[in-house]
Chains A and B, each alone.
Chain A
Amino acid sequence: MVALNPPASLSVAQADNGGRLAWDARLERLVSFAFTLPCLAVVALCVLVPCAWLFFLSAFGSDGKASLENYQRILDGASYARIFITTFQVGLATVAACVLIGVPFASFINGLPPRRSVIFLAAVLLPFWTSLLVRAYAWLVLLQRTGIVNSVLMGLGITKAPLELAFNHFATVLGMTHIMLPIFILPVLGAMRNIDSALIRAAASMGASRSYTYRRIFLPLAAPGIAAGAILVFVMSLGFYVTPAILGGGNVNVISMRIARSLSNYSNWGAASALGVLLLVFTALLFALSYGVQRVLLSRQRS
């Protein structure tokens, strides 16, 4: 049990038993490391091994010989660059929509008394429990040419011809934003809840207006949470398949769809793996970049 003493006890360590405490601390680190082993094993088995396998497969051509033809094809084909650009565009648009809708909404929930905030939080989380597929088709029912929105607009005489709402970038981003909002709002709300309300009161007591306090005190303090939510949404958006496939109607071609086509149509594991590897690399790069941005934000807050 001694070994499990919290490290905080080290700060009151006596000089004479310092060595023993250091040993304890090392033992404790070892024990807690041992506790993470099952988890690490699962991660290694389910993440690292398949990733390594992906890298491995991508380096083989269709004739089974080692070659870079899968990457060469991506460089040569005009469609691949466009597919990557579309994927990132759709991801960025989804992040923008989530920030525009999510930040005001999270601020609103944060300002409510706990009991009422639960109701609004439930409203955010409820759609989270419905299937991705159902939600995509629900949007289709609303947006398609003969859908509810167009019927109402035309019935009221607002538009003469049906608007093209479905099967485009707009519908795709709308559907993805709907799915991503809870994932964005939760970390943002978490960050907002952690803001010391004394700071807000202090600003108000010094004569800052509500909007000034919100802009200069509240938002900067919530910024790391917003950044974390945005990164999460962006990275998840890059791998979306069902929503762009249904709501994009073939007019929005993202990487995941191309990967699926490589696999199901031509059983071409190498080509699909190469796309997977590239997506992984791009995502990792962006993740590193945004992690840096977040660090800067946090350090600025501390200073």
Chain B
Amino acid sequence: MRGSILAAGILAAALAGTASAEETTLTLNTPGGAVQEGGRAVLWGPAAKKLGFQVKEETADNALDVLRLEVGSNSVKTDIIIMSGYQAAIAGTEGMLEPIDYKAVDASGFLPGTAAPYCVGIYGYAAVMAWNTKTYAKEAPSSWADFWNVEKFPGKRSMRSDAEAQVEMALLADGVAPKDVYKVLGTEDGIKRAIAKIATLKPNISVWWSSGAQHGQLMKDGEVDMTTGWNGRFQTAKEAGGPVNYTYNQGILTYDCFAVTKGSTHKAEAMKMINEMSSAQSQAGLTKYVSYGPLNQGAYKTGIISKEAEAVLPTSPANSGAMVVQDIDWWAKNNDHVQQLFEDMMTE
């Protein structure tokens, strides 16, 4: 009796084994919301169908926590994970991600800097400058130098209560060429120069924003006249008829991406999936669900994205050329130090 149960168990296990060999199930971790909904419809949904895989979705607020938990406890179940480029750079240096196999993933059409050693970009967004169109009705500011020019453009400013993207803006305002920003930031003097530049504007900064919702609100209410912030929020405020406009000129472009968990048992399959999901067609389709820009530049040639939509997407050829693609590796290396200096400046 006992023997037969055991035999049945072994048989079942064997059957399950063959089943999973025929039908690979990849576990994909997403941040939820519109990204998950859109991703299912145009990214992993069609890709899995084409490759004959099954996809199991999971959601998490903080992808780094998921990786630390799974890799740290040696019980990896997530194969592909969506995270910010910056988080992926950290996770990569901490040994929690598999390097992307660019022989399997075709990223030749991507914006330079958006297909990294440990992650492949999905969509991009930008930290830009926005202003109140009533305050600056005669002449609108157009660069970070204008943001810092309180004589020509008097008014209250707002910056992020976090150094991320703000130090790049400060250097651009200080006359550093977009291509040299990270070269300058590569030295301690360069970092100090950026922080000092922000310190000079401090008397005119009335609010340090901490969330996208907050800077959107500050502009809508007219609480500040100029702010740094994310393009999506300002576009929404502008469309709602608020006295808000923004520019992509000298914006800091950053992105979310697909990464593969270190120790994933479906590494090769995950690369295949990512390759499918990175196609121009897939990335173009995602713009129907989220207001972020495709990184595969081929997406703008598929005819899926209208001319009107293209004009407001941060990654379109016209807009992205004026921007600095954020160096996520620099941030992964210098974040703690820069944040510390930034905070010293902020609380002074």
Contacts and interface: CB of A to CB of B under 8 A. Distances in A.
Interface stretch (B192-200, B245-253, B289-297, B332-340): B332-340
A160 B312 CA distance: 39
Given A82-B348, A86-B347, A249 B336 contact: no
Contacts of B208: 249-251
B221 to A, nearest CB: 6
Contacts of B335: 266
Contacts of B62: 264, 267
Contact of A78 (B161, B210, B348): B348
Nearest to B62: A267
B248 to A, nearest CB: 25
Given A265-B162, A267-B64, A79 B206 contact: no
Interface string A203-215: 0000000000000
Contacts of A83: 347
A258 B346 CA distance: 12
A73 B347 CA distance: 16
B336 A144 contact: no
Contacts of A79: 340, 343-344, 346-348
A217 interface: no
A167 interface: yes
A241 to B, nearest CB: 12
A167 B207 contact: yes
Contact of B340 (A77, A86, A249, A251): A77
Residue of A86, A144, A249 most packed against chain B (CB within 10 A): A249
B163 to A, nearest CB: 10
Interface string A141-153: 0001110000000
B162 A145 contact: no
Contacts of A266: 335-336, 339
A82 B347 contact: yes
Interface in B45-78: 62, 64-65, 68
Interface string B91-103: 0000000000000
A253 B344 CA distance: 11
B346 A146 contact: no
A144 B340 CA distance: 29
B206 A164 contact: yes
Q: Give the interface size class of chain B.
A: 20 to 34
B156 interface: yes
Provide the main secondary structure of the chain B interface. Answer: mixed
Contacts of A167: 206-207
Interface in A33-83: 62, 73, 77-79, 82-83
Contacts of B161: 250
Contacts of B348: 78-79, 82
Given A145-B222, A146-B223, A267-B64, A250 B210 contact: yes
B65 A145 contact: no
B206 A146 contact: no
A245 interface: yes
A249 B65 contact: no
Interface in B195-222: 206-210, 221-222
A146 B207 contact: no
Given A146-B222, A267-B62, A249 B344 contact: no
A73 B346 CA distance: 17
Given A77-B340, A145-B223, A267-B64, A245 B346 contact: no
A219 B223 CA distance: 44
B64 A249 contact: no
Contacts of A249: 206-208
Contacts of B210: 245, 250
B344 A78 contact: yes
A251 B203 CA distance: 11
B343 A77 contact: yes
A245 B210 CA distance: 9
Interface in A129-181: 144-146, 164, 166-167
A100 to B, nearest CB: 28
A234 to B, nearest CB: 22
A243 to B, nearest CB: 14
Nearest to A267: B64
A62 B223 CA distance: 39
Contact of A267 (B65, B343, B347): B65
A83 B222 CA distance: 29
Given A78-B348, A250-B207, A144 B68 contact: no
Q: Which 7 A-B pairs have the closest CB atoms?
A: A250-B208, A249-B207, A250-B161, A79-B343, A79-B347, A82-B347, A79-B344
5 contacts: A78-B348, A249-B208, A250-B161, A253-B343, A265-B339
Interface of A: 62, 73, 77-79, 82-83, 86, 144-146, 164, 166-167, 245, 249-251, 253, 258, 261, 264-268
Given A79-B347, A145-B206, A146-B222, 15 more contacts: A73-B340, A78-B348, A79-B344, A82-B347, A144-B221, A145-B156, A145-B221, A146-B221, A166-B223, A249-B206, A249-B207, A250-B161, A250-B210, A261-B162, A267-B64
